C-alpha cells in the first residue's frame, strides 16, 4: 500500500555492480535504506559481541586494579584504541593493560568486518531478492561485488543524512524547474551612439 504523497519521491534508479571478470549485478538505488533493511542489518549484527560491552568490562577491570574511576579507565581504553596521545600517568596504565587493549582493537576490527558483511548480506536478501542468502554466501563474493554492494549501502546511508525539511506550500505549488540551464543571450551591446 502506498502513502498519499503531497510530493512523490524521486524515481528509483539502478546501479550496476561488479565487472566483466566477476560478473555484474543490478541493484535499485532508493535514496536510503528501507526500514526492513536497517532492521535486518541490526539483527545480523546482534549475533556478535558488542565492542562497547567488552570495552566497558575492560574499563571496569582497569578501574579496579588501578584504583581509578570507571570513566577514567574507559577514557584510557578509548584513547588507546584510537591511538590518541595521553598524559604520562594514563599512558603508564595503558601500557600495563596493553594486551587486553590489543584484544579490544582486534575485536573492533572484527566487528567492523562483520558489520560490513551483515550489511552486504541484508542488501542481497532484500534488493537482490534472495531471502535465503546467508552470511556464508556473502563470504564467497569476490571483492568487486562485495565492495560495490558495501558502497551502495554507504551511499544510501549518506542519502538519509541529507536535510529532510518538508517543502513549503509555495514550493509545492511551483512547477518543476527544468534542469537544463537557461541559454545566455549572445551578441554584443551597442555603444549607444
* pTM (global) more than 0.75: no
Q: What is the pLDDT of residue 160?
A: 80
Q: What is the pLDDT of residue 172?
A: 64
Q: C-alpha cell of 95?
A: 601500557
**pLDDT digit string (tens) for 92-118?**
999 999 999 998 888 888 888 999 999
Q: What is the pLDDT of residue 170?
A: 72
The per-residue pLDDT of the chain, averaged, comes to 86
**pLDDT digit string (tens) for 2-43?**
788 888 888 899 999 999 999 999 999 999 999 999 999 999
Angle (CA) 110-114-117 rounded to 5° is 145
**pLDDT digit string (tens) for 40-83?**
999 988 877 777 888 899 999 999 999 999 999 999 999 998 89
Burial call 124-155: b when 16+ CB within 10 Å, e when fewer:
bbbbbeeeebeeeebeebeebbbebbbebbee
Amino acid at each position: 500500500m502506498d502513502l498519499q504523497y503531497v510530493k512523490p519521491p524521486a524515481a528509483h534508479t539502478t546501479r550496476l555492480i561488479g565487472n566483466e571478470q566477476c560478473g555484474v549485478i543490478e541493484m535499485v538505488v532508493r535514496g536510503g535504506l528501507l526500514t526492513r533493511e536497517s532492521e535486518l542489518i541490526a539483527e545480523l549484527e546482534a549475533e556478535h559481541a558488542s565492542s562497547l560491552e567488552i570495552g566497558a568490562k575492560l574499563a571496569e577491570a582497569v578501574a579496579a586494579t588501578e584504583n581509578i574511576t570507571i570513566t577514567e579507565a574507559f577514557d584510557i581504553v578509548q584513547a588507546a584504541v584510537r591511538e590518541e596521545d595521553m598524559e604520562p600517568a594514563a599512558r603508564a596504565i595503558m601500557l600495563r593493560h596493553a594486551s587486553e587493549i590489543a584484544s579490544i582493537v582486534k575485536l573492533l576490527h572484527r566487528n567492523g568486518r562483520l558489520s560490513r558483511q551483515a550489511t552486504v548480506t541484508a542488501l542481497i536478501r532484500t534488493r537482490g531478492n534472495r531471502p535465503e542468502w546467508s552470511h556464508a554466501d556473502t563470504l564467497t563474493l569476490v571483492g568487486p561485488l562485495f565492495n560495490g554492494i558495501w558502497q551502495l549501502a554507504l551511499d544510501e546511508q549518506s542519502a538519509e543524512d541529507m536535510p529532510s525539511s518538508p517543502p513549503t506550500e509555495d514550493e509545492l505549488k511551483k512547477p518543476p524547474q527544468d534542469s537544463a540551464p537557461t541559454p545566455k543571450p549572445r551578441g554584443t551591446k551597442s555603444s549607444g551612439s
